[in-house]
Amino acid sequence: MQTAAIMRADQLERFAQFLDEHPGFAPLLQGEEAVIFGFQIGDCFLTLSEMDRLVGAEPRFDSAQAAVLLAPAAKRQ
């Protein structure tokens, strides 16, 4: 089990904006207090540190390319 980490307000704001733009990412909750310990996207699990790197990364695609890449596999064909 991982220890709980505290997020800064700017991190939380970036996460919220990212999740709003990419609704396929589902937070995984743990315990009675519903502590987020990672995120699920399809069959993939990302830890909080991996999500932080993803959210903080500079985009490499334009919005049309990104929409195709983030669409479910059935819709990509």
4-8 mean pLDDT: 67
Q: Is the pLDDT of residue 75 over 60?
A: no
pLDDT of residue 35: 83
38 has which bridge partners? 28
User: Phi, psi at residue 36, to the nearest 5°?
Assistant: -75, 125
Q: What is the pLDDT of residues 33-55, one digit of tens each?
A: 888 888 998 889 998 888 888 88
d(CA 54, CA 51): 5
Domain spans of the chain, in order of start: 9-75
- What does the pLDDT read at residue 45? 92
Number of H helices, E strands in the chain: 3, 3
| Model pLDDT for residues 55-71, shown as the tens digit of each residue | 888 767 677 877 787 77
Count the Cβ atoms, other than its own, within 10 Å of residue 56.
11
